[in-house]
Amino acid sequence: MKRWAVVLIYLQVVSLAGTQPTFASDLKIRRADDHLQIETDQISARINTKGYVSGVAGGGLLDKKTGARDLGFGLHIMDFLMAPGSRDDGYAHPQFHGKIAKHYVEGPQICTQAKQLDPEVIHGEDFVAIRFRFTFTKPGQGYKAGSTWQQTLLFRPGVRYLFSAETITTVNDHDALFYRIDMPGHIQHREGDRFEKVWLSYHGEIPSSEFCRDFPPDERFLYQRNDRAIPQRMIRAYQVKLAGRPGPWLAGMTLDPAAVSEAWCHQRGYVCFIQELHQRPVKAGQTFGAAYIIGWFDDKDEMEAVYDRYRGKTRIVIESGRAHLR
């Protein structure tokens, strides 16, 4: 039997939603040997600390308003560091990865191979944050290992979403380094039985029927950054089905649209929501990253309104007992 420790915060706070006061006792953490369970008045989130790690665990984000859960393997899941151009390193797989030449810079893949991440839990006046760190240990051909990754997950009462961010501090010089994440997360389904549609803010709506056969990432719905035409918003979302009817939307929002270099939405037994970020010149010692909102929304208008409130933010800053996006 797992032994739980419950952490309660008793300070009165004001919700980001804006009109009704809420209490920090609406923020709770339960600790188990292999995960944390975060409870707010609006959502519940399981965060694995062992096994398949980083981000929110698959099926672990509950919308208390509707009872909906995410449909994939996890939300804001971290992979590895990469660069353009092919090498004989085992990456090439056209059906899964497409024909665009890329190679590994540093690994391992954090989600599947880190095995354990020790959480730092931070309590503030109106938030709870979870922070993970990892140092890459497997260099690609011609590179050094030792770059560091840090992820922060920030929970507040009064809203149906969480804030998240990561930073990468590189030990390699490169002219186009990027990293790969799942954002928001994949969709497990059988011929569209569990979701109604996908919405990509840079493309439009896509019915679930478009994902009934497998296709590679560069065949359909592929986003590639054009610095002369950055989209106004970078929102990737899917509408779940509840009791066979359209339910709420699960969205992942990258708050700086220019941070995303490539984004996939293809079918490979499940809908694969991959994002690649940065792909810019870096020098050893440089830190870069992005910030996100992940969670539940009733419609696209609500998503866009929340996005526009935080548009352009790139990191989560926690200082003096307070948290904000900068």
Predicted confidence band of residue 5 (pLDDT cuts 50, 70, 90): very low
Q: Is the pLDDT of residue 19 over 50?
A: no
> Is the Cβ–Cβ distance between 103 and 89 less than 8 Å?
yes
Q: pLDDT tens digit string along 237-295?
A: 999 999 999 999 999 999 999 999 999 999 999 999 999 999 999 999 999 999 999 99
Burial 85-108, CB ≥16 within 10 A → b, else e: eeeeeebeeeeebbeeebbbbbbb
What pLDDT, on a 0 to 100 scale, did the predictor assign at position 133?
98
Average pLDDT, the chain: 92
Please, are residues 167 and 290 in contact by the beta-carbon 8 Å criterion?
A: no
Which of 3-17, 223-237, 309-323 is predicted least confidently? 3-17
Residue 18 placed within a domain: no
Nearest in space to 265 (alpha carbons), one of 324, 323, 219, 311:
219
Domain for residue 321, yes or no? yes
- pLDDT, tens digit (0-9, with 9 covering 90-100), for 114-125: 999 999 999 998
Q: What is the mean pLDDT of residues 29-46?
A: 97
300 CB burial (10 A radius; 0-12, 13-18, 19+)? middle
State the pTM of this model: 0.91
Q: How many domains is the chain partitioned into structurally? A: 1
pLDDT of 36 > 70? The answer is: yes
Please name which of 165, 162, 151 lies closest in space to residue 27, comparing C-alpha atoms: 162
Q: Is residue 31 part of a domain?
A: no
SS3 content of the chain, % helix, strand, coil (to 5): 10, 50, 40
- pLDDT tens-digit series, residues 127-181: 999 999 999 999 999 999 999 999 999 999 999 999 999 999 999 999 999 999 9
Confidence of residue 89 (pLDDT cuts 50, 70, 90): confident
Do the domain assignments include residue 284? Answer: yes
Across 205-220, average pLDDT: 96
1: pLDDT strictly greater than 80: no
Strand partners for 29: 7, 38
Specify whether the CB–CB gap between 72 and 105 falls below 8 A. Answer: no
Q: What is the pLDDT of residue 12?
A: 29
Predicted confidence at residue 245, as pLDDT, reads 96
In a domain, 10, yes or no: no
pLDDT at residue 313 above 80?
A: yes
User: Where residue 24 falls among pLDDT bands split at 50, 70, 90?
Assistant: low
CATH number for position 180: 2.70.98
The answer to whether position 67 is within a domain reads no
Is 175 a domain residue? yes
| More confident: 247 or 12 | 247
Query: The domain containing residue 158 runs over which residues?
Result: 77-325
Does residue 46 belong to any structural domain of this protein?
A: no
Nearest to 28 by CA among 13, 37, 39: 39
Gap between the Cα atoms of 292 and 98, Å rounded? 26
pLDDT at 92 over 80: no
The amino acid sitting at 140 is G
- pLDDT of residue 7 exceeding 80: no
- Per-residue pLDDT at 26: 83
Q: Note the pLDDT of residue 94.
A: 63
Q: Could you tell me the maximum CA-CA distance found in the chain, to the nearest angstrom?
A: 57
